[in-house]
Amino acid sequence: MNDLAPAKRTAKDFATDQEVRWCPGCGDYAILRAMQKTLADIEADPANTVFVSGIGCAARFPYYIETYGFHTIHGRAPAFATGVKLANPELDVWVVGGDGDMLSIGGNHLMHVIRRNVDVQVLLFNNEIYGLTKGQASPTSRAGTRSPSTPLGSIDSPVSACVYAMGAGARFIARGIDNQQKVLPDIFKRAHAHKGASFVEILQNCIVYNDGVFANVTEKSVAAERQVVCTHGAPLVFGADGNKGLALDSATLQLKVVDVGSDGPAAAGVLVHDETNPVLAGMLAAMQDDVLPVAIGVIYCDPKPSYDEGMAHLKAEAKNRAGGADLKDLLHHGHTWTVE
């Protein structure tokens, strides 16, 4: 056995010496655990990995991961991450933020990092509330949410994170749940493997200000009925025994729930998940009401060239065209004259 081979890093090796300061029971702990496991599993090089965050509870994430980290300002993490990636495309860049950070103050930057397709992984911890500022309604809070800033209930309509990402032209969209420790690392691995901007929404429970907001989706008693796990090439079935499926209602051009009979999903008209199909992805991302289940897993994945690749290409082309010309050549180019 080769003694010089470095020991494979474990999830623990990606923990820092800093005391984690989230509230006890916060969903962020579970996400952190899933990420540390992911980094160990993909054998990430800590020196080449950067976590960039904005402001909020979620944005404390980088302090707890033994990689490079940059805790920036409210809403702007995608812009900082873009600068990091353009400066050094070799770095593996993760962006972390909450729903207020990424969809309110930073909604603009989220849109642009996605539509440019900068090769970073964007993780949006959605708890439908402002935690760090003590519980105000957020842009993902459901209409009627009572909070210190909306004592009579909020009157604005929430934005769906995945639908927003779809609209911004995302080429990778996934959704996970904080406490699904088996599923979440796989989603992170897929996001990591995707070249270009990967967008992952994580339904995250805020135990203090919005406890149980996703209970009707995540509770064990309802999970099977309320979640459909999207697997590329597999039928979109759910329910306790896989007895339900998603089919297209050709009259309304909407998804509907059908019973899977004894002849199997195909006979029942259940759709097979094609993660490269943007129309299907749009419908899956939008499922949020009580009639249809919530889509979990990789909803959409259809890579196209990334922005950083494009920029590297332009730079190489510019160098090529200049044929070795330097600044000195530039200063002497064009009209010059000599004064004796």
Partner 1 sequence: MTNMDQVLNPEHAVSQREELDAAVVRFAGDSGDGMQLTGGQFTQATALAGNDLSTFPDFPAEIRAPVGTTFGVSSFQINFGARRIMTAGDNFDVLVAMNPAALKVELTRLRKGGLLIVDTGTFNERNFAKAGFSVNPLEDGTVAPYRVVAMDISAMTMEAVKDFDVSKKEALRCKNMWALGFVYWLFGRSRQATQAWLTGKFASNPDIADANIAAMNAGHAMAETAELPDGLKGFHVAPADIPAGLYRTVTGTEALAWGLANGAELAALEILFASYPITPASPLLHSLAKLQHLGISTFQAEDEIAAACAAIGASFAGTLGITSSSGPGIALKGEAIGLALSCELPLVIVNSQRGGPSTGLPTKTEQSDLYQAVYGRNGDSPLVVLATRSAADCFEVGIEAVRLATKYMTPVMLLTDGYIANAAEPWRIPDLDSYVPFPVSFHTDTEGFQPFLRDDDTLARVWAIPGTPDLMHRIGGIERDYDTGHISYDPDNHQRMTKVRAAKIDGIADDIPPQTVELGPETGKLAVVGWGSTYGPINRAVDNVNAQGKDVAHIHIRNIWPLPKNLGDLLAGYERVLIPEMNNGQLITLLRAEYLVDAQGLNKISGQPFKITEIEDAILEIVGE
Contact (Cβ atoms closer than 8 angstroms) between residue 75 and residue 47: no
| Residues facing 124 on adjacent strands | 97, 201
Q: Is 43 in the site for partner 1 (CB under 8 A)?
A: no
d(Cα 134, Cα 189) in Å, to the nearest integer?
Answer: 33
Pick from 115, 70, 116: nearest CA to 97: 70
Piece in contact with partner 1 (CB under 8 A), picked from 42-50, 125-133, 168-176, 235-243? 42-50
Residue range at the interface with partner 1 (CB under 8 A); choices 41-49, 123-131, 171-179, 257-265: 41-49
Nearest distance in Å: CB 274, partner 1: 31
Amino acid at 314: L
Residue 70 near partner 1 by CB under 8 A: yes
Residue 123 makes contact with partner 1 by CB under 8 A: no
Window contacting partner 1 (CB under 8 A); options: 125-133, 261-269, 282-290, 326-334: 326-334
Among 67, 138, 179, 205, the residue binding partner 1 under the rule CB under 8 A is 67
Contact 116, 82 (CB under 8 A): yes
| Shortest distance (Å) from residue 61 CB to partner 1 | 10
80 binds partner 1 (CB under 8 A): yes
How many residues bind partner 1, per CB under 8 A?
58
* 155: contact with partner 1 by CB under 8 A: no
Q: Which stretch binds partner 1 (CB under 8 A): 50-58, 131-139, 141-149, 267-275?
A: 50-58
Chain residues 297-316 in contact with partner 1, contact rule CB under 8 A = 311, 314-315
Fill in the DSSP letter of residue 273: P
**Does residue 71 interact with partner 1 by CB under 8 A?**
yes
**Measured distance CA(154)–CA(321) in Å, rounded:** 57
* CB of residue 326 to partner 1, shortest distance in Å: 7
Distances (CA, A) of 302 to 119, 164, 191: 13, 17, 12
Cα gap 53→192, rounded to integer Å: 17
Query: Contacts with partner 1 in 11-30 (CB under 8 A)?
Result: 16, 18
Please give the structure tokens belonging to residue 321.
Answer: 């065209």
Pick between residue 178 and residue 308 the one whose CB is nearest to partner 1. 308
Helix-helix angle 77-87:307-322, to 10 degrees: 40
Question: What's phi and psi for 56, nearest 5 deg?
Answer: 135, 180
48 alpha carbon, distance to own chain's centre: 20
Residues at the contact surface with partner 1, assessed by CB under 8 A: 16, 18, 46-52, 62-63, 66-73, 76, 78-88, 90-91, 108-109, 111-112, 311, 314-315, 318-319, 321-322, 325-328, 330-332, 334-340
